[in-house]
Protein backbone atom coordinates (compact mmCIF):
# COMPACT_ATOMS: atom_id res chain seq x y z
CA UNK A 1 0.00 0.00 0.00
CA UNK A 2 1.53 3.33 -1.04
CA UNK A 3 2.17 6.00 1.57
CA UNK A 4 -0.51 8.66 1.93
CA UNK A 5 0.39 11.95 0.22
CA UNK A 6 -0.08 14.93 2.51
CA UNK A 7 0.89 17.77 0.19
CA UNK A 8 2.30 18.39 -3.27
CA UNK A 9 4.23 21.40 -4.53
CA UNK A 10 5.61 22.08 -7.97
CA UNK A 11 8.69 19.92 -7.34
CA UNK A 12 7.98 17.99 -4.13
CA UNK A 13 5.67 15.37 -2.71
CA UNK A 14 5.31 15.36 1.07
CA UNK A 15 3.99 11.99 2.16
CA UNK A 16 3.56 10.01 5.32
CA UNK A 17 6.54 7.99 6.49
CA UNK A 18 6.35 4.21 6.33
CA UNK A 19 8.36 1.44 7.98
CA UNK A 20 10.33 1.11 4.74
CA UNK A 21 11.83 4.59 5.30
CA UNK A 22 14.23 3.39 8.01
CA UNK A 23 17.19 3.29 5.63
CA UNK A 24 16.31 6.72 4.19
CA UNK A 25 16.36 8.20 7.70
CA UNK A 26 19.59 6.42 8.59
CA UNK A 27 21.36 7.77 5.50
CA UNK A 28 20.06 11.28 6.14
CA UNK A 29 21.17 11.32 9.78
CA UNK A 30 24.52 9.67 8.98
CA UNK A 31 25.72 12.78 7.14
CA UNK A 32 27.53 14.87 9.75
CA UNK A 33 27.03 18.04 7.68
CA UNK A 34 23.27 17.48 7.51
CA UNK A 35 22.93 17.06 11.29
CA UNK A 36 25.61 19.60 12.25
CA UNK A 37 22.93 22.06 13.45
CA UNK A 38 20.22 19.48 14.14
CA UNK A 39 18.99 17.53 17.14
CA UNK A 40 18.86 20.64 19.33
CA UNK A 41 17.14 18.73 22.10
CA UNK A 42 19.92 16.18 22.52
CA UNK A 43 23.06 18.21 21.84
CA UNK A 44 25.58 18.01 24.63
CA UNK A 45 28.76 20.03 24.23
CA UNK A 46 27.92 20.85 20.63
CA UNK A 47 28.04 17.30 19.25
CA UNK A 48 24.87 15.52 18.07
CA UNK A 49 24.45 11.99 19.40
CA UNK A 50 24.90 9.35 16.71
CA UNK A 51 21.76 7.56 15.53
CA UNK A 52 22.08 3.93 14.51
CA UNK A 53 19.77 1.80 12.37
CA UNK A 54 18.25 0.02 15.36
CA UNK A 55 17.36 3.31 17.10
CA UNK A 56 15.78 4.65 13.92
CA UNK A 57 13.78 1.44 13.33
CA UNK A 58 12.67 0.95 16.95
CA UNK A 59 12.33 4.50 18.29
CA UNK A 60 12.47 7.21 15.62
CA UNK A 61 10.12 5.67 13.04
CA UNK A 62 7.45 4.58 15.54
CA UNK A 63 7.48 8.12 16.99
CA UNK A 64 7.00 9.64 13.52
CA UNK A 65 4.29 7.14 12.55
CA UNK A 66 2.38 7.81 15.78
CA UNK A 67 1.70 11.38 14.65
CA UNK A 68 -0.68 10.17 11.93
CA UNK A 69 -2.91 8.56 14.58
CA UNK A 70 -2.60 11.39 17.08
CA UNK A 71 -3.23 14.42 14.83
CA UNK A 72 -5.18 15.25 11.72
CA UNK A 73 -2.77 17.21 9.52
CA UNK A 74 0.23 17.54 11.84
CA UNK A 75 3.37 15.44 11.97
CA UNK A 76 6.50 14.59 10.00
CA UNK A 77 6.44 14.18 6.22
CA UNK A 78 8.92 12.43 3.94
CA UNK A 79 10.00 14.77 1.14
CA UNK A 80 10.20 13.17 -2.31
CA UNK A 81 11.70 14.97 -5.30
CA UNK A 82 9.17 14.58 -8.11
CA UNK A 83 11.70 14.60 -10.95
CA UNK A 84 13.75 11.69 -9.53
CA UNK A 85 11.22 10.05 -7.18
CA UNK A 86 14.03 10.12 -4.57
CA UNK A 87 13.74 10.69 -0.81
CA UNK A 88 15.48 14.00 -0.11
CA UNK A 89 14.63 14.51 3.57
CA UNK A 90 11.70 15.51 5.73
CA UNK A 91 9.55 18.37 6.95
CA UNK A 92 7.83 18.66 10.30
CA UNK A 93 4.69 20.61 11.03
CA UNK A 94 3.60 19.68 14.54
CA UNK A 95 2.46 21.15 17.85
CA UNK A 96 5.53 22.94 19.21
CA UNK A 97 5.02 21.59 22.72
CA UNK A 98 5.43 18.02 21.46
CA UNK A 99 9.16 18.77 21.78
CA UNK A 100 10.60 18.70 25.30
CA UNK A 101 13.26 21.12 24.07
CA UNK A 102 10.51 23.64 23.25
CA UNK A 103 8.71 23.03 26.54
CA UNK A 104 11.82 23.84 28.59
CA UNK A 105 12.50 27.03 26.60
CA UNK A 106 9.23 28.52 27.87
CA UNK A 107 8.64 30.58 24.70
CA UNK A 108 5.88 28.56 23.08
CA UNK A 109 2.12 28.59 23.45
CA UNK A 110 0.07 25.37 23.48
CA UNK A 111 -1.44 26.27 20.08
CA UNK A 112 1.87 27.04 18.32
CA UNK A 113 2.73 24.80 15.37
CA UNK A 114 6.41 24.13 14.77
CA UNK A 115 7.89 24.11 11.28
CA UNK A 116 11.11 22.18 10.69
CA UNK A 117 13.05 20.52 7.88
CA UNK A 118 16.09 18.35 7.24
CA UNK A 119 17.26 17.72 3.68
CA UNK A 120 20.04 15.68 2.12
CA UNK A 121 23.10 17.70 1.14
CA UNK A 122 22.56 16.90 -2.55
CA UNK A 123 19.27 18.84 -2.31
CA UNK A 124 20.71 21.96 -0.69
CA UNK A 125 20.67 25.24 -2.58
CA UNK A 126 17.76 24.25 -4.85
CA UNK A 127 15.01 26.05 -2.94
CA UNK A 128 13.34 22.82 -1.79
CA UNK A 129 13.34 23.77 1.91
CA UNK A 130 11.69 27.11 1.11
CA UNK A 131 9.20 25.51 -1.28
CA UNK A 132 8.11 22.91 1.27
CA UNK A 133 8.08 25.37 4.17
CA UNK A 134 5.90 27.90 2.31
CA UNK A 135 3.45 25.17 1.28
CA UNK A 136 3.13 23.89 4.87
CA UNK A 137 2.58 27.38 6.28
CA UNK A 138 -0.10 28.05 3.65
CA UNK A 139 -1.82 24.71 4.29
CA UNK A 140 -1.69 25.28 8.03
CA UNK A 141 -3.33 28.69 7.83
CA UNK A 142 -5.83 27.88 5.08
CA UNK A 143 -6.86 24.29 5.92
CA UNK A 144 -5.69 23.16 9.37
CA UNK A 145 -6.76 26.01 11.64
CA UNK A 146 -3.19 26.94 12.52
CA UNK A 147 -2.98 30.34 14.24
CA UNK A 148 0.79 30.71 14.68
CA UNK A 149 3.75 28.95 13.07
CA UNK A 150 7.07 28.93 14.92
CA UNK A 151 10.52 27.66 13.98
CA UNK A 152 13.91 27.69 15.68
CA UNK A 153 17.53 27.21 14.71
CA UNK A 154 20.98 27.74 16.08
CA UNK A 155 21.94 31.36 15.36
CA UNK A 156 24.93 30.07 13.36
CA UNK A 157 22.65 28.16 10.96
CA UNK A 158 22.21 30.97 8.43
CA UNK A 159 20.79 28.68 5.72
CA UNK A 160 17.92 27.52 7.94
CA UNK A 161 17.22 31.08 9.08
CA UNK A 162 17.00 32.22 5.43
CA UNK A 163 14.40 29.50 4.79
CA UNK A 164 12.32 30.72 7.75
CA UNK A 165 12.49 34.27 6.45
CA UNK A 166 11.59 33.27 2.88
CA UNK A 167 8.62 31.32 4.27
CA UNK A 168 7.39 34.57 5.83
CA UNK A 169 8.39 34.00 9.45
CA UNK A 170 9.80 36.96 11.40
CA UNK A 171 12.45 37.12 14.09
CA UNK A 172 10.81 36.70 17.50
CA UNK A 173 13.37 35.82 20.19
CA UNK A 174 17.02 34.94 20.76
CA UNK A 175 18.13 32.94 23.78
CA UNK A 176 20.65 30.54 25.26
CA UNK A 177 18.97 27.23 26.03
CA UNK A 178 20.13 25.59 29.29
CA UNK A 179 20.92 22.29 27.52
CA UNK A 180 23.18 23.79 24.86
CA UNK A 181 25.74 26.54 24.63
CA UNK A 182 25.15 28.15 21.22
CA UNK A 183 22.52 30.84 20.80
CA UNK A 184 19.11 29.79 19.47
CA UNK A 185 16.82 32.05 17.44
CA UNK A 186 13.05 31.67 17.20
CA UNK A 187 11.03 32.92 14.25
CA UNK A 188 7.23 33.12 14.15
CA UNK A 189 4.30 34.09 11.94
CA UNK A 190 0.72 34.71 13.07
CA UNK A 191 -2.13 33.87 10.71
CA UNK A 192 -3.36 37.46 10.60
CA UNK A 193 0.11 38.63 9.50
CA UNK A 194 0.44 36.09 6.71
CA UNK A 195 0.32 37.55 3.22
CA UNK A 196 0.93 41.14 4.34
Render pLDDT for 111-131 as a digit per residue (tens, 0 to 9): 999 999 999 999 999 999 999
Residue-number span of the structural domain to which 186 is assigned? 5-193
- Predicted confidence (pLDDT) per residue in 54-85, tens digit: 999 999 999 999 999 999 899 999 999 999 99
Mean pLDDT of the chain: 89
- Predicted confidence (pLDDT) per residue in 36-58, tens digit: 776 554 444 444 455 789 999 99
User: At 142, phi and psi to the nearest 5?
Assistant: -90, -25
Domain count, the chain: 1
Q: How far apart are CA 111 and CA 7, in angstroms?
A: 22
DSSP labels, the chain: -PPPEEEE-SSEEEEE--GGGHHHHHHHHH-TTTTTT--GGG-BTTBPPP--HHHIIIIIHHHHHHHHHH-SS-EEEEEEETTTTEEEEEEEEEEGGGSHHHHHHT---TT-EEEEEEE-GGGTTTTHHHHHHHHHHHHIIIII---EEEEEEETT-HHHHHHHHHTT-EEEEEEE-TT-SSEEEEEEEEGGGTT-
Top pLDDT among 178 and 143 is at 143
Contact 153, 164 (CB under 8 A): yes
| The model's pTM | 0.90
Q: How far apart are CA 152 and CA 139, in angstroms?
A: 20
Q: Residue length, the chain?
A: 196
In this structure, the number of other CB atoms found within 10 A of the CB of residue 98 comes to 17
Q: What is the CATH number of the domain that holds 123?
A: 3.40.630.30
Amino acid sequence: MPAKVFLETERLILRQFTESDAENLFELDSDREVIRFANLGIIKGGEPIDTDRETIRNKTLPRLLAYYQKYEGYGFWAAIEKSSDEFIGWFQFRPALDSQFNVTSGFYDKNDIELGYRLRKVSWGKGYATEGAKALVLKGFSELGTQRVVSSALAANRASIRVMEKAGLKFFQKYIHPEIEPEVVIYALNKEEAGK
